Amino acid sequence: MFLGQFDHNIDAKGRLTIPSNFREQAPEGFFVTKGFDTNLIAYPREVYTHMAEDINALSVTDPESRALRRMFFSNTVELSYDGAGRILLPAFLREAAQITTTCKLVGNGDNVEIWAMELWQVENQKNGGADTNSGRWAAYNISTRGR
């Protein structure tokens, strides 16, 4: 399970060091894709391939399905580590997430989110309030169930 958050820098060539902790959990690298919130999402192979199976099952004749399939695969890239534990983010993904120098790597359960630092801070501000979050827990009925 990916947990916690890390601040890392991207070098001039677009390479990003993955926290060693995350590397251990995804030794072959990540499938990195555009997220829904001007960020990137990195999935370990198993997780991504399950989603890909769902996508592959869609109709080829339905234009909506074709568009979804196209967006799904074309916005993803498979990346593995160099000798220093870095991945190279292609330009189109960096631009999509407005990533230039510093970013926040966020453990997110079965995946890792990658945010431009500035955007992360904005996002965090929106979601920071204790009230907001306890409200959410309530809405989704989340508890420890006394385990």
Partner DNA sequence: TCATAAAGTGTCACAAAGTGTCATTTGGAG
Partner DNA sequence: CTCCAAATGACACTTTGTGACACTTTATGA
Could you give the CA distance from residue 30 to residue 142 in angstroms, rounded to a whole number? 29
Taking CB under 8 A as the binding criterion, the range among 9-17, 22-30, 58-66, 80-88 that sits at the site for a copy of itself is 58-66
For residue 85 the two structure tokens come to 């534990």
Beta bridge partners of 105: 6, 114
**Closer to DNA at the Cβ: 7 or 46?**
7
Distance, CA of 95 to CA of 91 (rounded, Å): 6
The one of a copy of itself, DNA, none whose footprint includes residue 82, by CB under 5 to 8 A per kind, is: DNA
**Residue 84, contacted partner among DNA, a copy of itself, none, CB below 5-8 A by kind:** DNA
Q: Is 119 in the site for a copy of itself (CB under 8 A)?
A: no
Nearest-angstrom CA–CA distance, 105 and 63: 35
Q: Is 80 in the site for a copy of itself (CB under 8 A)?
A: no
